[in-house]
Structure 1
Amino acid sequence: MELREFRKMLENKLERDDRSITYNHKESTLRIADRKTNKGVSLALKPLLAKWEREEYESIEEVIRYVEVGISSMKERPSLLGNEQKIFPVIRSTSFPSETKDGVGLLYEEHTAETRVYYAVDLGEAYTLIDDEMVKESNLSAQKIQEISRFNLRSLPQPMNEDVVAGNTFYFLRAKDGYDASRVLDPSLLENMAKKATGQLAVAIPHQDVLIIADLQNDTGYDVLAQIALQFFGEGRVPVTALPFMYENGELEPTFILAQKKPKQRHSPKE
């Protein structure tokens, strides 16, 4: 299917009287926005078309649902008061915007040299990132919101699939609740995995909907982790980072992995 045909197909699925749909020819992106608020979602069409050609139709339907839910959630501004149990942390890359398109600052804190932690109110099928105005209206301090989010995170299940490659064990956490990558902020999870590991414990956060933990025993393990992280990074709806992390002394250290070699060059995490 040509890109033009694919674009038209998506436009037909997403068209509503109360929405505007704009196509950016240069970047091959489709922006779907609510006419009243002018808030919306942008889709990169080329990666989606590649999924269509691989017959990953469920992934396309998931993206369409993501747009539908996302735009609906933007119409109303949730209150933090009364919704404390629905506040969770979310992982984003350091290139993620620090403010809304209206110029309102988003609540976040530094995590590593590659990642930041933002905060969100869960709305059921979507969530809204917490901004400075929401914090002010709630009379909750940023520190209190951070504490609440971590407490709520620890209550979430931690389902994992396990795979062994050349003696290296890889664990994939995919709860499909939007906070899969956020589990990396649960120190008890990483500490328990570190106790369980017999080799080097490593972590990958390629996108928000997966957390990969690896017990690396040999050079092949490092190579496989690097390949998996890069592949997932390219496929994620909200990419975070393709760089794996080494877990040492309770800290995550972003690491370049060279083919057939254990990592030598490393970034230092931000405090």
Structure 2
Amino acid sequence: MNSIKMSKELQKRLAHPDRQFQFDRKQDQLRIENKQTGKGITISLPGIVAKWQEQKNKAIDEVVYYVEEGLGALDSDPEISGKEKNIYPVIRSTSFPLESREKIPFIYDDHTAETRIYYAIDLGNTYRLIDQKLLEKEQWDEKRIKEMALFNARSLSTDLKEDLVAGNTFYFLNKNDGYDASRILNDSFLKEMSGKVKGTMAVAVPHQDVLIIADIKNETGYDILAQMTMSFFASGRVPITALSFLYEDGKLEPIFILGKNKKV
């Protein structure tokens, strides 16, 4: 299986008279959109191919499900008022577009050199990013949206799984609710974890559905974290960044791990 074959399989599974497909071979992406509205979803294929190697058709079934749900959400006209508890922040790479295909600016904030915060209205099985048009329609201001989203993010579960590797402790948060990476915005949670860490604290959000916190106690720990983060990044449905961050004094700083423990 490669990106070309995956693109053909997804087009076959998602075929509909009202849809059109655009395969970008250079970027390894497939765009699925409504012919009438031009609204659609762009998916990165390498991660799906990598997942297919392990899960076969289950990986394709998952993508088809989320694309169908996402396209349905784009065709709907969600309301924010009365659904304040359904507003959440979502983390994306800084390469993620600042506006929709219809040239409507998204609501966002800078986060780190590698990540950016967008805001979304949860629709159940999917969510829709909040843009200026939706904001104006609801007559909300950006500050209110952002405050509500961050408040809701702090209410999300922070239960962790723990793994000890070569003397280093790795904690994983993987609820698959669409907001695992968003927990990185929960300052009190990160501060609580920093008090628990015995060595150096590092944080990673390789894709939307995982948050990794590492207690690095030796040089091998950095290599393990780098390999782990790259693996998650390559297999994620919504990749964010393969870089990790050092957490110190409430701040996140990107760390480059160049094999054999060389850090920049």
Shorter-chain TM-score bucket reads over 0.9
The answer as to whether partners of 1:204 and 1:213 remain within 8 angstroms in 2 is yes
In the alignment, structure 1 segments of 5+ residues that lack a partner are 266-271
Aligned amino acid, residue 227 of structure 1: Q
Q: Distance in 2 between matches of 1:83 and 1:211?
A: 26
Q: Which moved more, 1:119-128 or 1:140-149?
A: 140-149
**Separation of aligned partners in 2, 1:50 and 1:230:** 12
Give the conservation status (yes or no) of the 8 Å contact 2:203–2:213: yes
Runs of 4+ in 1 over 6 A off after TM superposition: none
1:188-267 equivalences in 2 (<5 Å): 188-261=188-261, 263=263, 265=264
Sequence identity (%): 48
Kept after mapping to 2: 8 A contact 1:233/1:242: yes
Specify the alignment match of 1:143 in structure 2. Answer: 143
Of 236-245 and 117-126, the range deviating more from structure 2: 236-245
Residues 73 and 123 in structure 1, CA contact (< 8 A), matched pair in contact too: yes
Q: In the alignment, which residue of structure 2 is the partner of 1:77?
A: 77
1:20-49, CA deviations, whole angstroms, 9 ceiling, x for partnerless residues?
Answer: 234445555432212221211233445433
Pairwise CA distance, 1:153: 1.0
Out of 50-59 and 127-136, give the one that drifted further: 50-59
Aligned to 1:97: 97
Question: Superposition pairs for residues 114-193 of structure 1, below 5 Å?
Answer: 114-193=114-193
SS of match in other structure, 2:112: coil
Deviations 1:214-267 (A, max 9, x none): 01100011111111111111111211111110000001111112323363x2xx
Give the alignment's TM-score, normalised by structure 1.
Answer: 0.90
Which secondary structure does the structure 2 equivalent of 1:257 belong to? Answer: coil
Partner Cα separation in structure 2 for residue 38 and residue 156 of structure 1 = 34
CA-CA distance at 1:104 after TM superposition: 1.1
Could you tell me how far apart the structure 1 residues matched to 2:117 and 2:193 are?
22
Q: CA RMSD in A?
A: 1.9
Offset of 1:199 from its aligned partner?
Answer: 0.7
1:50 is displaced (CA, Å) by 4.0
Residue 269 of structure 1 corresponds to which residue in structure 2? Answer: none
Structure 2 CA distance for aligned equivalents of residues 148 and 3 of structure 1: 39
User: Residues 150 and 50 from structure 1, CA distance in 2 versus in 1: closer, same or farther, beyond 3 angstroms?
Assistant: closer
Distance apart, 1:102 and its partner CA: 1.2
| Cα distance between partner residues in 2 of 1:153 and 1:7 | 34
Change (3 A) 1:10 1:220: same
CA distance in 2, matches of 1:116, 1:242: 14
- Give the match's secondary structure for 1:121: strand
In structure 1, C-alpha distance between the alignment counterparts of 2:192 and 2:26, rounded to whole Å: 47
Separation in 2 of the partners of 1:249 and 1:199?
14
Contact 1:51 1:57 (C-alpha < 8 Å) held by counterparts: no
Distance 2:3 2:144 in 1: 47
CA contact (8 A) 1:29 1:45 kept: yes
Cα 1:169–1:58 shift into 2, 3 Å: same
Structure 2 unaligned segments of length 5 or more: list them: none
Number of residues of Structure 1 aligned to a counterpart in Structure 2: 264
- Structure-1 residue corresponding to 2:34: 34
Instruction: Provide the C-alpha distance between the structure 1 equivalents of 2:77 and 2:86, rounded to a whole number of angstroms.
Output: 14
Residue 102 of structure 2 aligns to a residue in which SS?
A: coil
State the alpha-carbon separation in 1 of the partners of residues 102 and 191 from structure 2.
Answer: 40
Q: 1:239 to 1:8 in 2, by over 3 A?
A: closer
